[in-house]
Structure 1
């Protein structure tokens, strides 16, 4: 680039990395090209050598964020900051355990949007499928493991985090084994099938000196975080009531989600958990009482072992009531609404992987105004994986650690008890806000 004789030594020396300035300086250099063409070539070669030296030093000391001048006026929508990802050799390496729908449809594609994380290993019981996936994502054959050779991850320095995407009943075992292998753990929700298993997972990671994070993607998603800010800042006054619904019509097949020993339960721990955890996240409070009812369609083979529908109410110390419903046998709905003194905030959909939409209503001048703020759609899995990578690199407690998953499990067990006993169940009082959360994620521009 700099060998072009149209670019003068002064233009090269004063070039600050801005594409616009560079073009302007190159244009001015056209007037001076005939003065000393041979000198320009010699000096430019020296400049190239210096640029190469600077670039090499930059890679050794760490990247500096690239900046560009704005293209649009301040009154126009702005694109936000450049991604500025870490170089691949500086990203945190993840091993993916389980190659089902979630891993192949969302998690592995999500790495394309990561700035701090990369996939480096796979664990699966299907070697043929694993071989194909490894080729697709550039994962080395020697970094492909079976469930029997899972413990050999301890000998792989490329793997720093294990992401467990297995049936719920396997979360505890593979978290404990992963921690013993010396790896940090990111585990899908629900955390486990019992509070006892959750405690075992926390203890194993603490004993190994490794981090444990539960994959509550909603707590990292930008629009849901906007709702969080509106609620915590009391933008529309005090919140009084929340309603949340998460339903889907499960396929009629012999899948693990319909087996109690594998899933631990039905709709509640799988998708009803979003209603529970998101409500706790928005308020920062912990419920003091739950009441619930359960219903399953008689004769439906899908629900011979696990529940179909759960309706539950959470009562919080501030007086807020959350009415939640979840089900495995109705058309897809993934929404919630927060009702406050001077307005409401609606997320519909609020729990989906993509295409989330917020509507908020209030009447600032006596006339109702409805607004629909938007943010660029981001991979929720990339956001949570990069948060985990950041916690590993900066030695921070994840925002959704094992204690957050344990608290949800304890509340779900109380919900089941309430439905069985047909009466409300009291929960231990927790006075501290965000009692079970760690370091908040950094804001996304």
Structure 2
């Protein structure tokens, strides 16, 4: 089993001149470069023979103990804050070897990859990008130079299988239009690679099952990129529900909308997208209802609207509304639209309190509030936490699962169950009747992610 060491933060810092002299009885042998020594190089060269110095900002300094003989890559910091009352700090390992991180091939260089996933790789502790797949070779080479990917590790969709010989690639991150997820997941499994696949998992439950079967046959992991399930505020609400802090659940209300533009984009093509706003943005509402509550719906009633005079919606719906009913008696009312101003929110209400996020589901800027009784008075409490990159969190979770040989928190079964419900929603909208939803035959989620690793 691979042992991963967290990757240090990108960027170099230099030591002030006063630190290029002996400190705490240990001589600093490294020569200054441009007035100082690179932080990582300094730490690596001092090793166990001298006290390692870490910089707190540009001028402040903190003395750190030398690595212990049993763990030469670790730098131990003295405790400053009380761990019982203060948030724990995460200190990246300054001497981590990059080749110990799990290597990813990013399959598809569209907007999501370029704007979110590739930049997030620089914030990952256990993951690195080592290969790119694109139908545009010029773009791929430019992106490769930006992220340090060798030119011989750039592939197109015809040379995809050549990655079987690239031992650096352990995980293929499939970031293609929905209708292509199944093909490229199956092809990745066939050449012995693990797969992290963007949501929605596929455009039909049949395709979802084919993806699961292919990865199971190849003994490779399949994880669906439900980044909200790795986001700290969402996880906080899920824990409150599990600990009964809200009391019995009563209602869930959620919406996710945006006003789409170009009618020629693939999200408005039924074959590539599998539907309109429902599988794209509505699935966040659907998955949140299931994940936050820990329950599975048993019935849905839904409606969709597709205007005849809008060229954007020749093939897919403009908007969808659906109500999920759960065995314990509570319900989830959700909506999604491609023709409304951007809006993302949810509120989960219980007998003893409520929790909401507005905005929710986005890449950043999320806000959380809760309502409860405080000293006999109704109180609304705003909760603000340090922002963290959701993509980095989910990617690193996949890497830890690969290293530990552990089922991911959001495996293929989670995506399959959502797709089954999506199909029930469309069936209800067509028939005008409530549709029963079968309970999944087994668990749809793996172990919770380790919070201390993030």
- What's the TM-score once normalised by structure 2's chain length? 0.84
In 1, Cα distance between equivalents of 2:410 and 2:203: 18
Say whether residues 1:166 and 2:154 are aligned partners: no
In 1, Cα distance between equivalents of 2:22 and 2:358: 59
SS at match of 2:223: strand
SS at match of 2:374: coil
> Where in structure 2 are the equivalents of 1:39-54 lying within 5 Å?
none
In 1, Cα distance between equivalents of 2:117 and 2:23: 49
1:360 aligned residue: 370
Residue of 344, 347, 361 corresponding to 1:351: 361
Say whether residues 1:443 and 2:451 are aligned partners: yes
CA contact (8 A) 2:358 2:366 kept: yes
1:398 aligned residue: 408
Unpaired runs of 5+ residues, structure 2, are 1-17, 29-45, 56-60
Cα deviation, residue 65, structure 1: 5.4
Say whether residues 1:113 and 2:123 are aligned partners: yes
Q: Deviations over 1:279-318 (max 9, x none)?
A: 1001111100011000122211111001110000111111
In 2, Cα distance between equivalents of 1:298 and 1:403: 36
In 1, Cα distance between equivalents of 2:438 and 2:79: 54
In 2, Cα distance between equivalents of 1:408 and 1:73: 42
1:37 aligned residue: none
> Where in structure 2 are the equivalents of 1:90-105 lying within 5 Å?
90-105=100-115
Cα deviation, residue 366, structure 1: 2.5
Cα deviation, residue 428, structure 1: 1.7
Cα deviation, residue 91, structure 1: 0.2
SS at match of 1:363: strand
Report which stretch shifted further, 364-373 or 89-98: 364-373
In 2, Cα distance between equivalents of 1:148 and 1:7: 60
2:185 aligned residue: 175
Residue of 157, 162, 168 corresponding to 2:167: 157
Aligned residues: 410
Cα deviation, residue 66, structure 1: 4.0
> Where in structure 2 are the equivalents of 1:207-226 lying within 5 Å?
207-226=217-236
In 1, Cα distance between equivalents of 2:340 and 2:23: 69
1:80 aligned residue: 89
Q: Deviations over 1:354-390 (max 9, x none)?
A: 0110011112223221111222111111000000000
2:41 aligned residue: none
1:28 aligned residue: none
Cα deviation, residue 439, structure 1: 1.8
Runs of 4+ in structure 1 deviating by more than 4 angstroms, as ranges, are 1-20, 72-79
Q: 1:149 to 1:160 in 2, by over 3 A?
A: same
> Where in structure 2 are the equivalents of 1:27-66 lying within 5 Å?
63-64=73-74, 66=76
Q: Deviations over 1:162-181 (max 9, x none)?
A: 00000011000000000011
Aligned CA RMSD, in angstroms, stands at 2.8
- Between Structure 1 and Structure 2, the one with more strand by share is 2
In 1, Cα distance between equivalents of 2:346 and 2:21: 60
CA contact (8 A) 2:224 2:411 kept: yes
In 1, Cα distance between equivalents of 2:85 and 2:348: 30
Say whether residues 1:373 and 2:373 are aligned partners: no
Report which stretch shifted further, 1-10 or 279-288: 1-10
CA contact (8 A) 1:66 1:84 kept: no
2:14 aligned residue: none
1:193 aligned residue: 203
CA contact (8 A) 1:291 1:313 kept: yes
Q: 1:7 to 1:168 in 2, by over 3 A?
A: closer
In 2, Cα distance between equivalents of 1:183 and 1:169: 20
Say whether residues 1:332 and 2:342 are aligned partners: yes
Structure label with greater radius of gyration: 1
Say whether residues 1:415 and 2:425 are aligned partners: yes
Unpaired runs of 5+ residues, structure 1, are 26-50
In 2, Cα distance between equivalents of 1:263 and 1:419: 18
